[in-house]
């Protein structure tokens, strides 16, 4: 392990989480088995090897599904509030392990330590939400048109939930799905990102111990490891009625089509191309931190990262200068050091995509305000550290129309009424997160109206990045249409059933149809 990593307690964190140098890649609770190829996890922080995980073979995968199916038959019979008690224990254990798990997230993925802790806090928050929800999985009573009849609607567990998560939130997105799925009576099979496999192992270790302590089937929570080929086992498997997939739009098209072909359900959380509209009445003390954190937080590797600033021409120069000035204060370096604002990109492929996007923006006529580039020298040996860039651009540029998972911020002007800015905001294929900075009520209401932002998330006087657990998280268009986390997102993890009960002595038919015998 690298000396710099040791200085921040990584070895101690790995020990507390039960993560070893070599980790078996398939788990159904306490049983580990796999003799597949090895995935080596290198930290983008210092380029050092953290550990290895074996991939899941076809034989292993089928064994996992068999174990999950057997567990489901028992788990679905457990009353929902008792299932909530298990999730409560899981949340409490996360509280105990927040520091080491947050450190691992930071070191394996590259986000700042505070963001690593914040990601674990999201896991804790969704557990709290799910515990309360376990007593509120309510159906409804519906008036019947027939005398002596009553109609009811109720919700039942759906079965095995397959979860495919991305590297940028290597633990939280799994928890968003699995905490709700568990209280709904489902069991979960999780394929974490092959770019952060040790985070997956750590989380499985935590829940496996809780299941064992409560004498519950180990198959309630399972993991599999590998690349897209392992994911294909899940998406083509008719034994998995729901696949929740987080990742790129390209990946989502494949997953959505494959699952739909077998009449399964998919929950897709895909790309974003998020904009903040800045109006003449916007306050700089709100605009600057919202835009800067949105653009450089997690090194621009959030699906909700701010990609575009759409600024009214009357305040454009003032806002531009303030944002450029703020970029001069950003400190880049080891994300485990809390004095650093931004860590590395996940790997060198991401670095190459970042560099290519900047060159493409220049070729299309963009004006670079803050130069990007790869950082070198002491502390940057991994080759994954880059400088956040700002480019003046037009919304119609091809590169602007696509999401680049990196800290590149495009600035553009709008003139006239706020409707023109809203048209620009909506003028991309993605529809995840959006925001407006304004002190004008009419502008805010127009932005939030049916003719306003077409995104699943629309904020006023806060940025695009980040979301609270209580609200449904997700977006429209090429973002996939899925919803996770709060509100009534739990319904996707269950199947709806309508019941009609006749408590009369006769059998009247619906719509007044007569059928006399």
Q: Tell whether the model's pLDDT for residue 32 goes beyond 80.
A: no
Say which of 184, 303, 384, 455 is annotated catalytic. 303
Q: Which of 120, 170, 111, 123 is nearest to 338 (CA)?
A: 111
298-343: pLDDT as tens digits? 999 999 999 999 999 999 999 999 999 999 999 999 999 999 999 9
Distance separating alpha carbons of residues 60 and 449, to the nearest angstrom: 50
Strand bridging mode 149-157 / 494-502 = antiparallel
Residues 365/340, Cβ–Cβ less than 8 Å: no
Q: Is the pLDDT of residue 2 over 50?
A: no
Q: If you compute the radius of gyration of the chain from its CA atoms, what whole number of angstroms results?
A: 24
Q: Residue 406 carries which DSSP code?
A: S
Count of Cβ atoms closer than 10 Å to residue 445 Cβ: 11
Q: Helix/strand/coil (H, E, C) string of 140-172?
A: EEECCCCCCEEEEEEEEECCEEEEECCCCCCCH
Categorize the per-residue pLDDT at 33 as very low, low, confident or very high, splitting at 50, 70 and 90. low
> Is-contact 264 241, C-beta < 8 A?
yes
Beta bridge partners of 118: none
Q: Is 381 designated active site? A: no
Q: Is the pLDDT of residue 4 over 50?
A: no
Please tell me which residue in 269, 443, 478, 484 is annotated as part of the active site: 269
Strand 187-191 and strand 160-164: the pairing is parallel
Place of tokens 């969704």: 126
For every residue of 236-275, DSSP letters joined together read T-TT-SEEEEES-HHHHHHHHHHHHHTT-EEEEE----EE
pLDDT of residue 31: 59
Query: Rounded to the nearest 10 degrees, how much is the dihedral formed by the CA atoms of 207, 211, 212, 214?
Result: 140
User: Comparing C-alpha atoms, which of 484, 481, 450 is closest to residue 469?
Assistant: 484
140-142 vs 149-157, strand pairing mode: antiparallel
Per residue in 393-441, pLDDT (tens digit) is: 999 999 999 999 999 999 999 999 999 999 999 999 999 999 999 999 9
d(CA 268, CA 256): 7
Q: Which two tokens stand for residue 118?
A: 């914040």
Helix/strand/coil for 385 = coil
Residue that the structure tokens 């509100």 belong to: 487
> What percentage of the chain carries pLDDT values higher than 90?
92
Residue from 93, 76, 272 nearest 166 by CA: 272
The structure tokens listed for 241 are 């009625």
**% of the chain beyond a pLDDT of 70:** 96
Residues 342-370: tens digit of each pLDDT: 999 999 999 999 999 999 999 999 999 99
273 neighbors 310 (Cβ within 8 angstroms): no
3-state secondary structure of 77: coil
Half-sphere exposure of 33 (CA within 13 A, CB side): 11
What confidence category does residue 28 fall into, taking pLDDT thresholds of 50, 70 and 90?
low
> Residue 30 pLDDT > 90, yes or no?
no
CA angle, residues 101, 105, 109, in degrees to nearest 5: 165
For this structure, is 303 an active site residue? yes
Q: Is 29 helix (H, G, I), strand (E, B) or coil?
A: coil
The pLDDT of 17-30, averaged and rounded, is: 75
* Closest C-alpha to 1, from 51, 52, 53: 51
Tell me, what's the pLDDT at 29?
Answer: 54
Total-model pTM: 0.95
Which of 51-60, 178-187, 502-511 has maximum average pLDDT? Answer: 178-187
Binning pLDDT at 50, 70 and 90, where does residue 22 land?
confident
Q: Give the distance from CA 371 to its chain's centroid.
A: 29
C-alpha 438/C-alpha 452 separation (Å) is 14
Return mean pLDDT, the chain.
95
Helix (H, G, I), strand (E, B) or coil at 345: coil
The pLDDT assigned to 1 comes to 32
Rounded CA-CA distance 230/233 in Å is: 5
Torsion angle defined by CA atoms of residues 11, 12, 15 and 20, in that order, rounded to the nearest 10 degrees: 0
pLDDT classification of 516: cutoffs 50, 70, 90: confident
Q: Which helix (H) or strand (E) holds 457?
A: strand 457-460
**What stretches of 339-485 show up as alpha helix (H) in DSSP?**
348-363, 398-401, 418-426, 441-448
Write the CA distances from 125 to 120, 243, 485, integer angstroms.
9, 23, 10
Query: Could you give the CA distance from residue 200 to residue 191 in angstroms, rounded to a whole number?
Result: 8
pLDDT exceeds cutoff 60 at 81: yes
Q: What is the pLDDT of residue 280?
A: 98
Distance CA 178, CA 174 (A): 6
- Of the candidates 30, 109, 64, 50, the residue with the CA atom closest to the CA atom of residue 224: 64
Residue 330 has what pLDDT?
97
Between CA 349 and CA 345 the distance in angstroms is 9
- DSSP-derived 3-state class of residue 335: coil
Q: How confident is the model at residue 297 (pLDDT cuts 50, 70, 90)?
A: very high
Q: What is the pLDDT of residues 170-195, one digit of tens each?
A: 999 999 999 999 999 999 999 999 99
Query: Which element (helix H / strand E) includes 112?
Result: none
Examine the pLDDT at 3 and tell me if it is beyond 50: no
Looking at residue 32, what DSSP letter applies?
E
* pLDDT for 20: 85
Note the pLDDT tens digit of each residue in 92-149.
999 999 999 999 999 999 999 999 999 999 999 999 999 999 999 999 999 999 999 9
């Amino acid at each position: 392990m690298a000396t710099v990593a040791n200085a921040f307690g990584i070895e101690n964190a790995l020990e507390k989480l039960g993560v070893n140098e070599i980790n078996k890649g398939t788990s159904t609770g306490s049983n580990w088995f796999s003799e597949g190829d090895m995935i080596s996890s290198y930290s983008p922080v210092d380029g050092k090897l953290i550990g290895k995980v074996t991939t899941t073979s076809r034989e292993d995968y089928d064994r996992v599904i068999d174990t999950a199916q057997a567990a489901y038959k028992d788990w679905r019979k457990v009353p929902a509030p008792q299932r909530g008690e298990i999730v409560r224990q899981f949340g409490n254990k996360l509280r105990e392990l927040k520091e080491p798990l947050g450190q691992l997230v930071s070191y394996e993925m590259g986000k700042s330590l505070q963001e690593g802790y914040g990601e674990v806090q999201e896991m804790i928050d969704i557990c709290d939400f799910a515990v309360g929800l376990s007593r509120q999985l309510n159906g409804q009573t519906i008036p019947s048109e027939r005398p002596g009849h009553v109609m009811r609607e109720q919700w039942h567990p759906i079965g095995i939930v397959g979860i495919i998560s991305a590297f940028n939130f290597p633990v939280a997105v799994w928890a968003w799905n699995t905490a709700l799925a568990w209280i709904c009576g489902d069991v979960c099979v999780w394929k974490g990102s092959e770019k952060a496999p040790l985070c997956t192992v750590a989380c499985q270790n935590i829940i496996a111990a809780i299941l064992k302590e409560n004498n519950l089937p180990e198959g309630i929570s399972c993991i599999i490891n590998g690349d897209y080929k392992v994911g294909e086992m899940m998406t083509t498997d008719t034994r998995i009625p729901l696949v929740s997939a987080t990742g790129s739009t390209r990946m989502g098209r494949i997953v959505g089509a494959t699952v739909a072909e077998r009449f399964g359900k998919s929950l897709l959380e895909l790309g974003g191309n998020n904009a903040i509209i800045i109006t003449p009445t916007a306050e700089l003390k709100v605009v600057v931190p919202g835009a800067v954190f949105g653009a450089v937080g997690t090194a621009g590797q959030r699906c909700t990262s701010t990609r575009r600033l759409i600024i009214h021409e009357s305040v454009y120069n003032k806002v531009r200068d303030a944002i450029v000035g703020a970029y001069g204060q950003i400190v880049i370096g080891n994300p485990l050091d809390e004095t650093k604002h931004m860590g590395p990109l996940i790997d060198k492929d991401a670095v190459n995509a970042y560099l290519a996007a900047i060159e493409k923006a220049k070729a299309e006529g963009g004006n670079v305000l803050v130069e990007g580039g790869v950082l070198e020298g002491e502390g940057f040996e991994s080759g994954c550290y880059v400088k956040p860039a700002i480019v003046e651009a037009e919304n119609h540029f091809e590169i602007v129309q696509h999401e680049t998972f990196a800290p590149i911020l495009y600035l553009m002007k709008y003139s006239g009424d706020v409707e023109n800015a809203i048209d620009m905001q909506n003028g991309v294929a993605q529809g995840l997160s959006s925001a407006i900075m304004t002190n004008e009520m009419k502008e805010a209401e127009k932005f939030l109206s049916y003719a306003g932002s077409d995104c699943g998330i629309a904020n006023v006087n806060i940025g695009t990045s980040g979301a609270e657990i209580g609200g449904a998280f997700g977006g429209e268009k090429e973002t996939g249409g899925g919803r996770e986390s709060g509100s009534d997102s739990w319904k996707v993890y269950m199947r709806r059933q309508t019941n009609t009960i006749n408590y009369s002595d006769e059998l009247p038919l619906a719509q007044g149809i007569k059928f006399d015998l």
